[in-house]
Amino acid sequence: MNKTLIKHPTNTAPVTFLSWKLIKRTRLLKPTEVDLVWERPTIDNYELTFMDPPNTFWGEMLGPLRFGRTKKSSDRQMSVSGA
């Protein structure tokens, strides 16, 4: 049986990651050097405008399989008038 490194799905991500790091010559960053929340206030304000509660992950994934057994929700937003 011919087993290669790329054909196995658990090896694909590490091979791709390491290839990118070697080819592009990027460096690893420490978590203290990375700012991952600079857009957070903007996103939080946007999410506050939604009128319906957010769906859960599994609610989103299994929602199309329920065929009308769940309540109809929408992405309705409140109007925010600019001052």
Instruction: Give tens-digit pLDDT for 12-50.
Output: 888 899 999 999 999 999 988 888 788 889 888 888 888
Q: Which residues, in sequence order, are bridge partners of residue 72?
A: none
Q: Which residue has the higher pLDDT, 34 or 74?
A: 34
Query: Residue 79 is which amino acid?
Result: S
CA–CA separation, 22 and 25 (whole Å): 5
pLDDT for residue 2 is more than 60: no
